[in-house]
């Protein structure tokens, strides 16, 4: 992910660099990271007794995670719409 941030920084410094490639790399890194987090949350719920207080905490984490995914998807939709309008 750090290398993708470097790519983004280099693209912002160079006027002629293609921003789409850099943004796509960041998007793919973010997507991979979110899939990893989702898997870890699912594992934590699978191996936990549903009567434990920590189970409820993990469910709250999952709700927060789903909310984050929704916000990211709305942002990406808005960003794509703005790009279409600009061209």
Q: Is 17 helix (H, G, I), strand (E, B) or coil?
A: coil
Read off the pLDDT of residues 36-50 as tens digits, 9 standing for 90 and up: 888 888 888 888 888
Q: How far apart are the first and last CA of the chain?
A: 30
Cβ(11)–Cβ(18) below 8 Å: yes
What whole-number distance in Å separates Cα of residue 30 and Cα of residue 25? Answer: 9
The number of folded domains in the chain is 1
Phi, psi of 17 (to 5 degrees): -70, 145
Residue 11 sits at the vertex; the CA angle it makes with 20 and 87, to the nearest 5 degrees, is: 35
| Host domain of residue 18 | 2-86
What whole-number distance in Å separates Cα of residue 40 and Cα of residue 48? Answer: 12
Query: Which pair of structure tokens corresponds to residue 55?
Result: 């189970």
pLDDT exceeds cutoff 70 at 63 = yes
Q: Which of the two residues, 81 and 21, has the higher pLDDT score?
A: 81
């Amino acid at each position: 992910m750090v290398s993708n941030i470097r790519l983004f920084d280099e693209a912002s410094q160079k006027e002629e660099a293609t921003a789409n490639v850099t943004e796509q790399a960041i998007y793919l890194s973010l997507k991979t990271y979110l899939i990893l987090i989702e898997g870890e949350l699912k594992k934590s719920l699978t191996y936990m007794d549903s009567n434990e207080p920590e189970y409820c905490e993990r469910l709250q984490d999952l709700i927060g995670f789903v909310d984050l995914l929704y916000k990211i998807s709305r942002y990406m939709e808005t960003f794509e719409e703005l790009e279409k309008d600009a061209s």
